[in-house]
Structure 1
């Protein structure tokens, strides 16, 4: 089931995200987060923008949300999309379901542009974004340093604006 996040999800979300902080370059954060940190992040997004979770048998398997691309008012129709899954459920279509639901909600809110930043290499994330029509528009070399190495970041964008 995909639903809107609630405060009680913060512990599960922190556990999912902390796996990536400790073991992956998908995020450039290096210190684990707490449930309170996640609650603050949720409050910064909801209700203005969607934050969704995928729940199965009472357990959060993943989450996706949109955040402001830039706080300046002229950017109000552009957002950044984010998705994270429990490590053991990758490749089961949950990320696609979350992104599909997130994009539908953003389109209903008259968002025009959705931007996804991807630490590289990350073939799975690239495939997910490109599956939904995101196109690569930027590549920044060696902008992050984690696990003793320099990491590139690519940016993909998707127009969800209907012309006419």
Structure 2
């Protein structure tokens, strides 16, 4: 599947919000329980940062998702590591877009000196787990019963890939 990444602009946060709000309301892919504000998104999804970058994902000229490379921990010792995040509109999943996006983000991360990427995934999100395993990520942590949403107690699993 052919896709393009375009750097996120400040005017794009409403698009990101719409995509993310779907996942808040309908899935356990995120542990947010209430719809997110633009201000909260701005604190999470980086904009105009030299190292941590965010993108809208386009397929056939239409926005189909967003992705970003974000800070893993706010300490200088962790600067070689980042978190990778990909969210697609529901109608864009299962088409191979996310696989290509993860690979593209890895190349971007390498170009700015990031050597390790971490994907933090809800334990029951088997589609994301399969995606990251297919991309060569290995499970490195399993946090049991750390979240609760929709009346279910949920695990979180972390996957990592050393890219540099």
Taking structure 1 as the reference length, what is the TM-score of the superposition?
0.90
**Corresponding residue number in structure 2 for 1:73:** 76
CA RMSD of aligned residues (A): 1.7
Query: How many residues end up aligned between the 2 structures?
Result: 161
SS of 1:121's partner is coil
**Corresponding residue number in structure 1 for 2:157:** 154
- Work out whether residues 11 and 34 of structure 1, in 8 Å CA contact, stay in contact via their aligned partners in 2: no
**Residues 121-144 of structure 1: CA deviation (Å, up to 9, x unaligned):** 111101111111100011111000
- Work out whether residues 62 and 95 of structure 1, in 8 Å CA contact, stay in contact via their aligned partners in 2: no
Over 3 Å counting, the alpha-carbon distance change for 1:33 and 1:59 in structure 2 is farther
Shift of 1:94: 1.6
Say whether 1:134 aligns with 2:137: yes
Determine which of 117, 120, 124 is the counterpart of 1:117: 120
Over 3 Å counting, the alpha-carbon distance change for 1:148 and 1:80 in structure 2 is same
**Residues 61-88 of structure 1: CA deviation (Å, up to 9, x unaligned):** 1111111111111011111111100011
SS of 2:11's partner is helix
- Work out whether residues 52 and 102 of structure 1, in 8 Å CA contact, stay in contact via their aligned partners in 2: no
- Work out whether residues 46 and 52 of structure 2, in 8 Å CA contact, stay in contact via their aligned partners in 1: no
Say whether 1:143 aligns with 2:146: yes
Over 3 Å counting, the alpha-carbon distance change for 1:28 and 1:133 in structure 2 is same
Structure 1: gaps spanning 5 or more residues: none
Structure 2: gaps spanning 5 or more residues: none
Map 1:64-103 onto structure 2 (within 5 A): 64-103=67-106
Say whether 1:26 aligns with 2:25: no
